[in-house]
């Protein structure tokens, strides 16, 4: 389980994917490794591993030998919110046969968004995804843009408010608000 949603304190130890895969092979059991965000790097994309300080790479986890690797489709990948499972064919097929699969599977709109995200990455155009572009640019480049958009959105809200018909109270007569 990745600790992106909780924290364990005290005397704890983390097991690496390679160790987990070896233990699974030794005991004859299926292994799964959760990356949390999971970073996908590829040709033509700005490398983000150094900038993100040790974020686990999806490809490294798959190469470790574990049967199933899970990671998020939205955080660092830049696609729709989804849990992604990749791994050995037999393990994935067993998961698909489980009755709970139907309740947890991604809907058509999410699949279309994920397909487009992955197509951009495979075409070497992953930096066109807003999340990846912002991570590559860094906070220094994003902060000024954020200030601009915040002030322009205030202006738009004022314009819209002025043009909306306001509810009239019974004694308001011809007075406009």
Per-residue model confidence as pLDDT tens digits over 96-122:
999 999 888 899 999 999 999 999 988
SS (H, E, C) the chain: CCCCCCCCCCCCCCCCHHHHHHHHHHHCCCCEEECCCCECCCCCCCCCCCCCCCCCEHHHHHHCCCCEEEEECCCCCCCCCCEEEEECHHHHHHHHHCCHHHHHCCCHHHHHHHHHHHHHHHCCCHHHCHHHHHHHHCHHHHHHHHHHHHHHHHHHHHHHHHHCCCCCCCCCCCCCC
Per-residue model confidence as pLDDT tens digits over 147-163:
555 545 444 555 555 44
């Amino acid at each position: 389980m990745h600790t992106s949603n909780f924290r364990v304190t005290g005397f704890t130890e983390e097991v690496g994917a390679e160790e987990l895969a070896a233990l699974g092979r030794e005991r004859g059991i299926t292994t799964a490794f959760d990356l949390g965000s999971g970073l996908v790097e590829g040709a033509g994309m700005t490398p983000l591993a150094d900038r993100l300080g040790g974020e686990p790479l999806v490809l490294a986890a798959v190469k470790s030998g574990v049967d199933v690797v899970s990671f998020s489709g939205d955080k660092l990948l830049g696609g729709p919110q989804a849990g992604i499972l990749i791994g050995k064919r037999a393990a994935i097929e067993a998961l698909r046969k489980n009755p709970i699969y139907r309740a947890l599977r991604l809907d058509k709109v999410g699949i279309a968004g994920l397909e487009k995200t992955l197509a951009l990455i495979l075409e070497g155009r992953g930096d066109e995804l807003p999340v990846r572009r912002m991570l590559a640019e860094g906070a220094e480049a994003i902060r000024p843009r954020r200030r601009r958009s915040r002030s322009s959105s205030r202006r738009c809200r004022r314009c819209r408010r002025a043009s909306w018909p306001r509810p009239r109270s019974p004694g308001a007569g011809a007075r406009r608000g």
